Amino acid sequence: MSNLRTLHFYATPEHDCSYLENKIAKTLFVDPQVELDQSTYSQLSDLGFRRSGKHVYRPHCDDCRACISVRIPLAVYSFSKSQKRILAKNKDIYATTHAPSFTEEYYSLYSRYINKRHQDGDMFPPSSEQFTSFLVEGAEHTQFIEFRDATDTLVAVSVIDTLEKGLSAIYTFFDPSLPKRSLGTFCILWQLQFCQQNNLNYLYLGYWVKNCRKMSYKISFRPFELLLEDQWVLVQPD
């Protein structure tokens, strides 16, 4: 069984930052050869680590602390009026849970999403190998949540990891031709509802970077908690 005291960590060489222009980054990785049990993975999540494929990592930059972990505390969370409207707008969508896998249907949706929404990102251009290494390979407790409309058309997929006291939102891709549905927000709202229904304490959203526009959505779910100086700090609505 894995535990924090026996884990080995490795730091990458400095490389270009994925989030901020003209910045250099460094990343701390857990030994990828170690199989993490749910308890250890949950503890790492509480320490600000994230998973991408087989790699569990945390920013480890020498002179920058811009990447801040975000989680939503369900005990004090309530849905805003605008969020309730998004839920109502998508009441025809149903969700089912599946083991991670590569399918042509998944990949077609993923490709359209990346090509439309993330042409300036690290995942462009998409490839089947990238999809598999990023989303299919990974933790034992990973699930794909399929979202389908009334015609049984796949409109979104959320990749989540189950933790001891919450969920970790790994990634969501959705149909970019349906902007009126606000599918990205809807999928997070669904995960928040799932946490509440299953008495889970937190939804972990990964890193927020103040000056990175694509990450601004993460702090629209209030109240939220930020990991500051290794302590989770509650941020209430304005």
Which tens digit of pLDDT belongs to each residue from 22-77? 899 999 999 988 989 999 999 999 999 999 999 999 999 988 999 999 999 999 99
Q: Is the pLDDT of residue 234 over 80?
A: yes
Count the domains in the chain. 2
Task: For residue 229, give Cα distances in angstroms to 48, 83, 92, 178, 192.
Answer: 11, 31, 43, 40, 26
Last residue of a domain, one of 33, 49, 67: 67
Structure tokens at 90: 């998508």
Q: Can you give the residue range of the structural domain that contains 49?
A: 4-67
Q: How confident is the model at residue 180 (pLDDT cuts 50, 70, 90)?
A: very high
158 and 225 fall within a common domain: yes
pTM reported for the whole predicted model: 0.94
109 and 140 belong to one structural domain: yes
Are residue 104 and residue 214 in the same domain, yes or no?
yes
- Residue 91, token pair as written in the block: 């009441």
Please report, for the domain that includes residue 98, its CATH number: 3.40.630.30
- Asked if 84 and 129 sit in the same domain, the reply is yes
Could you say which of 67, 91, 121 is where a domain stops?
Answer: 67
* pLDDT at 1 > cutoff 60: no
Residue 122: per-residue pLDDT: 75
Q: Which tens digits make up the pLDDT trace of 87-145?
A: 999 999 999 999 999 999 999 999 999 999 876 767 779 999 999 999 999 778 999 99
Residue 163: which region, alpha, beta or left (left: phi > 0; alpha: psi -120 to 50)? beta
- Reference 203, options 232, 162, 236; nearest CA is 162
Through-space distance between the first and last CA atoms of the chain, rounded to whole angstroms: 44
48 and 161 inside one domain:
no
Same domain, 146 and 216: yes
